[in-house]
Chains A and B, each alone.
Chain A
C-alpha cells in the first residue's frame, strides 16, 4: 500500500511541475467551454436576406417588414430581377432571397391566395433549412392575422421553397467540403512540422548545417516531395467524394485542383513554420495537430456559421486559413462559380503562404542556439 501511495505522490509532483500537462488539464477545458458556448448555436441571427419584390404593394411590404423585424434576418439588398438572384447567392452576399411575384396583393385579394418563393442557399443545408422554416413560420403568422381580420375567410400566402445548388438538401454537401479542408491542413501541417524537428532530435540537423546546404534549400527541399505526393491525395479524396457521396464538381475541375494545391502549399508552409519553432517532435505534433484541429472545426465556418459567432470570434476566424478555403471549395464544387467569385480568398491564401515561407526562412536557425 505504501508503495502505491508513494507512487501516486510522485505522479502528482510530475504533473504540477510540467507546464504542458497543466495547460491540458486546466487551460484547454476553459478555452473549450468558452468557445463551445458561443459558437455552437443552432439558431440563426441576422441572416442576410435579399428581397425581389415585383409587386411592391401593401401586402408585400407588410410581410417584408415582419420578416425584417423578427430579429432573425437582416435585409441587405433589394434585387430587381430574377437574374440577380444567382449572382447574389454565388457571391455569398445573401443566404436567401424572398421573391414576391407581380400582382401579389391583387392575387391575394381576388383569388384568396398568392405565392411567394423562398430561395435558399442549399450549400449550407442546416442554415437553409432554418431560414426557410423561420420565414414559413412568419408567413403562417401573417396568414393568421389576415384570417382574423378578413371578411372573406381563407386567405393564404403559400411560400414555395427552393434550395439552390442542393435541391435534395444533402447534408454532406456542407459536410464533406469541410472535412476535406480540415483533413488537408491537418495532415500537411503535421507532416512537415515533424520533418525538421526530427532532424533536430536525431542530431542529423547538426551535420546538415555544417555543409554547403542553404536554409532555403533545406526548407524547399522538405516541402517539395510532400507537395507532389499530396496531389495524389487530393485526386483520391475528390474521387472518393464523387463516388461515395455524389458530391458534384460543378465548377472548373482545373480551378479546383489549382486552388487545392495552393491550399496544400499553404498548409505545408505552416507546418515548416511550426517546425522551426518547435524543439521536439512532441511539441511539433502538439502544435500542428491539436493546435489546428479544434479552431478549424469550431471557428472556420466548417460546421457553425461564422455569422452566428460573436464579433470577437470573427477576428480569430479571420486568421484561420481554412475559413477561406472552405469558401473557395464550396463555391467551386457546389455553386459552380468561376475564379472571379473567389479571387479575394485566393489572394489571402497566397499572402499567407508567402508569409509562412518567409518567416520559416527567417526563423530557421543557422546555429544551434
Chain B
C-alpha cells in the first residue's frame, strides 16, 4: 500500500456566503502524477492554495507531506515545490542567479546548490543560457527551468498550476517527460491543466465542478464509466462551467 502524501477529509472553504470548496475528500499517493481538472470557477485554485499552505481551510482536515494545513502551513511550504503559470522566475535575474537564489531560499547547503546547479544546466542543455536574463529566454525554456527550480530541493510533492499554457507542442511533451521522470524519482506531482490530452498522462485525475469533486479515478476507468472516447468527452459531460 503506497503512502498517502496528501489526505483531504471533508474540506470546506467559504468566502463569506460563497462556498468555493464543498466537502472535498480525496487522497494522493507517493510517486503519483495526480491531475486536478475543472472549469474556471470550479474551485481548483482555491483548493490548490490550501494544499500548498497559502490559504487555510474553513473546516475539514488537510494533511500535506505529513503536516496539517491549518496548524502548520509554514512547514508544508518548506516541504513542497510550487510552480505557477507565469511568474515563477525573476525576469531581471539570469538563469544561474535564479537557480541559486531558490536553492538558498530552500535552505540547501552551498555545496549542494553548486553541484545540483551544474547538473541541472547540463541536463537541460542550458549551458549557453546560464548567464542570460530570464526575460530573454523563449517561453518553453522558461517553463522547463521553472519546473526544475520547483523541484530543485527534491521535495516530497510538487504543485504545478497550469504549467504548459501556450507552449509549443514539442516543448509541452518534453515538459511532461520531465514530469514523468520526476515522479519516477518518487516525487509526487499534483498538476492542474486545461489541456485535456495532458490529463491522459496522469495516473489518476479528479474533476471539479461547482466546488465539488464529481469524478476521481484513472483516466481509463473514467472513460469506460462515462462511455467516452477521451477525457475531454468525460469533461464535457460532467463539468458545466458557472456563468
Contacts and interface: CB of A to CB of B under 8 A. Distances in A.
Interface string B68-112: 000000000000000000000010110001001101111111100
Nearest to B103: A6
Nearest to A10: B101
Contact of B92 (A5, A7, A9, A14): A14
Given A6-B100, A13-B97, A18 B105 contact: no
Contacts of A2: 104, 107-110
Interface residues of A, number: 11
Nearest to A4: B104
A3 interface: yes
Interface in A1-38: 2-3, 5-7, 9-10, 13-14, 17-18
A3 B92 contact: no
Contacts of B90: 10, 14
A6 B92 contact: no
Interface string A47-58: 000000000000
Nearest to A6: B104
Contacts, number: 32
B93 A3 contact: no
Contacts of B104: 2-3, 5-7, 9
Contact of B101 (A9, A17, A18): A9
B114 to A, nearest CB: 13
Interface string A188-202: 000000000000000
Nearest to B92: A17
Contacts of A18: 92
B209 to A, nearest CB: 30
Contacts of A14: 90, 92-93
A3 B78 CA distance: 12
B145 to A, nearest CB: 16
A89 to B, nearest CB: 58
B105 A13 contact: no
Residue with the highest number of chain B CB atoms closer than 10 Å, among A6, A7, A18: A6
A7 B90 CA distance: 12
Nearest to B106: A3
A9 B100 CA distance: 11
A5 to B, nearest CB: 7
Residue with the highest number of chain A CB atoms closer than 10 Å, among B93, B103, B104, B110: B104
Given A3-B105, A6-B105, A7-B105, A13 B100 contact: no
Nearest to A18: B92
Interface in B101-143: 101, 103-110
A2 B97 CA distance: 15
B185 to A, nearest CB: 24
A13 to B, nearest CB: 6
A77 to B, nearest CB: 62
B107 A13 contact: no
A28 to B, nearest CB: 21
Contacts of B103: 6
Contacts of A5: 104
A2 to B, nearest CB: 6
A2 B90 CA distance: 19
B55 to A, nearest CB: 22
Given A10-B90, A13-B93, A14-B90, A3 B101 contact: no
Interface of B: 90, 92-93, 97, 100-101, 103-110
26 contacts: A2-B104, A2-B107, A2-B108, A2-B109, A2-B110, A3-B104, A3-B105, A3-B106, A3-B107, A6-B104, A6-B105, A7-B101, A7-B104, A7-B105, A9-B101, A9-B104, A10-B90, A10-B97, A10-B101, A13-B92, A13-B93, A13-B97, A14-B90, A14-B93, A17-B92, A18-B92
Interface of A: 2-3, 5-7, 9-10, 13-14, 17-18
Given A6-B104, A10-B101, 13 more contacts: A2-B107, A2-B108, A2-B110, A3-B104, A3-B105, A3-B106, A6-B101, A6-B103, A7-B101, A7-B105, A10-B93, A10-B97, A13-B92
7 closest A-B pairs by beta carbon, nearest first, are A6-B104, A17-B92, A10-B101, A3-B105, A3-B107, A2-B104, A6-B101
